[in-house]
Amino acid sequence: MVEAGALVLGLLVTIRIGEIAREPESGRLVRVEAEMIKLKGAGSGWTCILFDEVRSLCTDYDRRPAECRAMSCWDTSEIERIMKTPPLSRRDLLYDVAGVWDLVAAHERRCGLSGMDALSAAARDGDEPAADELMAMIRYDRALRELLVEKGGDARHLEFLFGRPVECLLNGFGLRLYQKDGRTGIAIM
């Protein structure tokens, strides 16, 4: 669907390894073990961006993704089967795109959530260098996103390329940003 242009990248978000997400079967919050590409939520929620709540229908029904085609509220066996197959990743879609995969991979090395997990644990224990490294990660993530848009990139593609901004993931690690005396820092929630 993406390769054929039926789904534009601006409609997608990457849920990265280590990010917290709700497990469909149990409803529990868990750390994601495999990267997932999903349709974005509308606004700040997770209601599908293609769903028209007023009319209770999909706005692009004929070109909806496989997961949506398989969804039947009265019989969930097909969606359960699909959920057991390996999910599509950014690498699947971008590996052959000159320069783009290298940029995404470099961002993942610098802003990967496994590194963020260890730094967050140390920062929660009062380790100032770890908190400084987290702030450096946030600044790098922000700067890269801003640079791509400045160079003509589409801001709507950023959540697909790099996942949600690092600063938006802090609360999943028990941390938050604060402002004091013109300085931004990291604090325990």
Place of tokens 């993530």: 141
User: Which of 24-33, 42-51, 66-75, 171-180 is least confident?
Assistant: 66-75
pLDDT by residue (tens digit) across 106-119?
999 999 988 888 99
Above 50 in pLDDT, residue 1? no
3 vs 11, higher pLDDT? 11
| Tens of pLDDT, residues 132-163 | 999 999 999 999 999 999 999 899 999 999 99
CB atoms within 10 A of CB 57: 10
What was the pLDDT predicted at 85?
82
- What is d(CA 153, CA 133) in angstroms, rounded to the nearest whole number? 27
**Higher-scoring residue by pLDDT: 25, 158:** 158
What is the predicted pLDDT for the residue at 64?
A: 74
